[in-house]
């Protein structure tokens, strides 16, 4: 059996609304009832429109965000039941995170070799000589020339900076790497190099990876399994290979239909209307206000997960039927709009 590295069980994250002022009672439902497992060596892609909770999910996975409710377990142990020092060692060393913009993620005043030594110093790994050796190893691992060891992050190209951020995330030999939009701040010309580096590292180091992006085509390419989120909810999980055509949740189907670059393109299914506010999500299925298949059933309670097959789960009362043509789906969506 494949080992589970991380498991979220019924995780909720609720924030105080930023817009409402210090004493506001408004709450943002950033993550609602998320169940997710990440197995050793697999890459899970996370897709969904802006504000659907992708970054929140990523932060819960690396122990930066504490769930308001529910549990996040790393190698079977609830990370928020651990003592702080134990948590820092388990999850701080066991997971690594790469952010969208390496310019803000790296300390601008430290040269590259110090940026990379920092986690080794904080976690007291080996002697100074061993740490310096590990820094050299990390630079080679991510394809950084020795000549940049004394450079400040600001003196590097965007691609090199992201390589430094990746090397730092790998410094403590984590078993899970979480990448949140790792290429969206980079020039198009270097994006492919960084993605190829991540794929290569995943293979070489046997890493589990969670890859968050609004770029669906990239997520599909990088991932073994894709998770679709909508307004704080995970609504579908399926193998990446077939998800574009086999999606059962209408939202996933619409999202993938709008993706350019599929081998045989699918006609875009229109997504009608705006995403509702995460402060007042609709009752029942949150997608129902934009869903062309929605009826009264959908406003009651959130549907439970159903299995299209053991690897493919979705939550919908009126899923896309296997074999339902895109033309039919477009006609239904247009009739609704």
Binding site for ligand ATP (CB under 6 A): 15, 18, 28, 30, 48, 50-56, 214, 278
| CB 64 within 8 Å of CB 53 | no
Of 58 and 333, nearer to ligand ATP (C-beta) is: 58
- Closest-CA residue to 63 (of 102, 123, 12, 6): 6
177 forms beta bridges with 96, 209
Q: Return the structure tokens found at 154.
A: 């600001």
* Least distance (Å) between residue 234 CB and ligand ATP: 12
* Least distance (Å) between residue 274 CB and ligand ATP: 13
* Least distance (Å) between residue 140 CB and ligand ATP: 32
Of 33 and 51, nearer to ligand ATP (C-beta) is: 51
Of 113 and 290, nearer to ligand ATP (C-beta) is: 290
Instruction: Tell me the C-alpha to C-alpha distance, in Å, between residue 256 and each of 114, 129, 331.
Output: 42, 50, 17
CA 237 from chain centre, in angstroms, equals 13
* Least distance (Å) between residue 2 CB and ligand ATP: 27
Of 194 and 231, nearer to ligand ATP (C-beta) is: 231
* Least distance (Å) between residue 121 CB and ligand ATP: 29
Of 62 and 171, nearer to ligand ATP (C-beta) is: 62
Cβ neighbours, 10 Å, residue 290: 23
| CB 251 within 8 Å of CB 286 | no
What gap in Å lies between CA 49 and CA 54, rounded to an integer?
Answer: 9
| CB 236 within 8 Å of CB 248 | yes
* Least distance (Å) between residue 54 CB and ligand ATP: 4
| CB 233 within 8 Å of CB 286 | yes
Of 98 and 115, nearer to ligand ATP (C-beta) is: 98
Q: Return the structure tokens found at 59.
A: 């932060």
Of 51 and 268, nearer to ligand ATP (C-beta) is: 51
* Least distance (Å) between residue 198 CB and ligand ATP: 19
What gap in Å lies between CA 248 and CA 235, rounded to an integer?
Answer: 10
């Amino acid at each position: 059996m494949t080992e589970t590295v991380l498991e979220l069980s019924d995780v909720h994250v609720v924030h105080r609304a930023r817009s409402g002022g210090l004493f506001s009672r408004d709450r943002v439902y950033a993550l609602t009832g998320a169940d997710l497992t990440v197995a050793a060596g697999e890459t899970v892609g996370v897709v969904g429109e802006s504000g659907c909770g992708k970054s929140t999910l990523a932060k819960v996975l690396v122990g930066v965000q504490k769930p308001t409710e529910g549990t996040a377990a790393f190698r079977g142990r609830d990370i928020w039941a651990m003592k702080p020092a134990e948590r820092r060692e388990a999850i701080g060393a066991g997971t690594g995170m790469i952010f969208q913009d390496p310019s803000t993620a790296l300390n601008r005043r430290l040269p590259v070799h110090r940026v990379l030594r920092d986690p080794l110093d904080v976690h007291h790994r080996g002697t100074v000589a061993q740490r310096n050796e590990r820094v050299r190893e990390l630079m080679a691992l991510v394809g950084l020339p020795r000549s940049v060891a004394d450079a400040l992050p600001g003196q590097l190209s965007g691609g090199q900076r992201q390589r430094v951020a990746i090397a730092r995330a790998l410094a403590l030999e984590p078993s899970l790497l979480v990448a949140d939009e790792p290429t969206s701040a980079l020039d198009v010309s270097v994006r492919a190099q960084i993605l190829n580096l991540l794929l290569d590292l995943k293979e070489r180091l046997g890493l589990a990876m969670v890859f968050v992006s609004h770029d669906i085509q990239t997520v599909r390419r990088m991932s073994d399994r894709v998770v679709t989120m909508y307004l704080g909810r995970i609504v579908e999980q399926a193998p990446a290979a077939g998800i574009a055509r086999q999606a059962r949740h209408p939202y996933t189907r619409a999202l993938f239909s709008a993706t350019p670059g599929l081998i045989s393109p699918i006609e875009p299914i229109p997504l009608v209307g705006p995403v509702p506010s995460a402060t007042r999500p609709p009752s029942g299925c949150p997608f129902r206000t934009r869903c062309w298949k929605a009826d009264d059933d959908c406003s009651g309670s959130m549907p439970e997960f159903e299995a299209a097959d053991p690897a493919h789960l979705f939550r919908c009362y009126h899923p896309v039927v296997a074999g339902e043509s895109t033309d039919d789906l477009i006609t239904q969506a247009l009739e609704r709009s």
